[in-house]
Structure 1
Amino acid sequence: MSEQQKLEKSKKRTKICMITITVLFIFIMLVVPLVSVMASALKEGFGFYLKAVSTEYVVSALKVTLIATIFAVVINTFFGICAAWLLTRFSFKGKQILATLIDIPFSISPVIVGLAYLMTFGRLGWFYPVIRAFNEFFGTNIRITFAIPGVVLATIFVTFPFVSREIIPVLNAQGKDEEEAAALMGASGLTIFRKITLPHMKWGLIYGIILCTARALGEFGAVNALSKTRGETFTLPLEIDALYMSGTESSITSAFAVSSILVIIALIILFARNIIEHRFKTDH
Structure 2
Amino acid sequence: MEPKTPGTYVRRGLVIAYLFMLVAWPVSLVVVKTFDGGLTNLQTALTDPTVVFALQMTVYVSIWAVVINTVFGTGISLLLVRYEFPGRRVLSALIDLPLSVSPVVVGLALLLAYGGKEGLFGPTLESAGLQVAFSVPGIVMATAFVSLPLVIRELVPVLGEIGTDMEQAAKSLGARPWQTFLRITLPSIRWALVYGVVLSLARSLGEFGAVKIISGNVAEQTQTATLVVEQKYQDFEQGSAYATSFLLAAIAVAALVVVTVLRPKEDPDGD
Q: Does the 8 A contact of 1:162 with 1:208 survive in 2?
A: yes
- Is 1:176 paired with 2:164? yes
CA distance in 2, matches of 1:109, 1:29: 21
TM alignment of 1:130-209, pairs within 5 A: 130-135=124-129, 142-209=130-197
Q: Does the 8 A contact of 1:203 with 1:280 survive in 2?
A: no
- Is 1:16 paired with 2:9? yes
CA distance in 2, matches of 1:85, 1:48: 46
Tell me which residue corresponds to 1:4: none
User: Which residue of 202, 208, 218 maps to 2:206?
Assistant: 218
Tell me which residue corresponds to 1:255: 241
The structure whose residues are more often helix, as a share, is 1
- Quick one: which amino acid aligns to residue 135 of structure 2? A
Tell me which residue corresponds to 2:257: 271
CA distance in 2, matches of 1:260, 1:14: 37
Task: Give the superposition deviation at 1:232.
Answer: 1.3
TM alignment of 1:67-106, pairs within 5 A: 67-106=60-99
**Aligned to 2:18, what secondary structure does the other structure show?**
helix
Task: Give the superposition deviation at 1:168.
Answer: 0.9
The normalised TM-score by structure 2 is 0.92
Task: Give the superposition deviation at 1:280.
Answer: 5.0
CA distance in 2, matches of 1:31, 1:94: 42
Cα pair distance change 1:79/1:48, threshold 3 Å: closer
The normalised TM-score by structure 1 is 0.88
85-94 or 53-62, larger mean C-alpha shift = 85-94
Tell me which residue corresponds to 1:46: 39
**Aligned to 2:128, what secondary structure does the other structure show?**
helix
Task: Give the superposition deviation at 1:272.
Answer: 2.4
Task: Give the superposition deviation at 1:84.
Answer: 1.2
Moved segments of 4+, more than 6 Å: none
Q: Does the 8 A contact of 2:201 with 2:252 survive in 1?
A: no
- Is 1:109 paired with 2:94? no
CA distance in 2, matches of 1:25, 1:98: 35
- Quick one: which amino acid aligns to residue 127 of structure 1? F
Q: Does the 8 A contact of 1:167 with 1:201 survive in 2?
A: yes
CA distance in 1, matches of 2:60, 2:124: 25
CA distance in 2, matches of 1:54, 1:274: 33
- Quick one: which amino acid aligns to residue 264 of structure 2? R
User: Which residue of 54, 59, 71 maps to 2:52?
Assistant: 59
Q: Does the 8 A contact of 2:50 with 2:220 survive in 1?
A: yes
**Aligned to 1:279, what secondary structure does the other structure show?**
coil
Stretches of structure 2 that go unaligned for 5 or more consecutive residues are: none
Write out per-residue CA displacement over residues 153-210 of structure 1, whole angstroms, 9 at most, x where no aligned residue: 1101111211121111101001111111221222221211111111111111011001
- Quick one: which amino acid aligns to residue 143 of structure 1? Q
Tell me which residue corresponds to 1:232: 221
Instruction: Give the number of the structure whose alpha-carbon radius of gyration is greater.
Output: 1
Write out per-residue CA displacement over residues 70-101 of structure 1, whole angstroms, 9 at most, x where no aligned residue: 11100110011111112211222222222222
**Aligned to 2:148, what secondary structure does the other structure show?**
coil
Tell me which residue corresponds to 1:27: 20
**Aligned to 1:206, what secondary structure does the other structure show?**
helix
CA-atom RMSD, angstroms?
A: 1.8
75-84 or 267-276, larger mean C-alpha shift = 267-276
CA distance in 1, matches of 2:91, 2:167: 23
CA distance in 2, matches of 1:84, 1:202: 13
Number of residue pairs aligned between Structure 1 and Structure 2: 266
TM alignment of 1:112-131, pairs within 5 A: 112-123=105-116, 124-131=118-125
Tell me which residue corresponds to 2:266: 281
Task: Give the superposition deviation at 1:48.
Answer: 4.0
Q: Does the 8 A contact of 2:45 with 2:52 survive in 1?
A: no
**Aligned to 1:281, what secondary structure does the other structure show?**
coil
Q: Percent identity?
A: 36
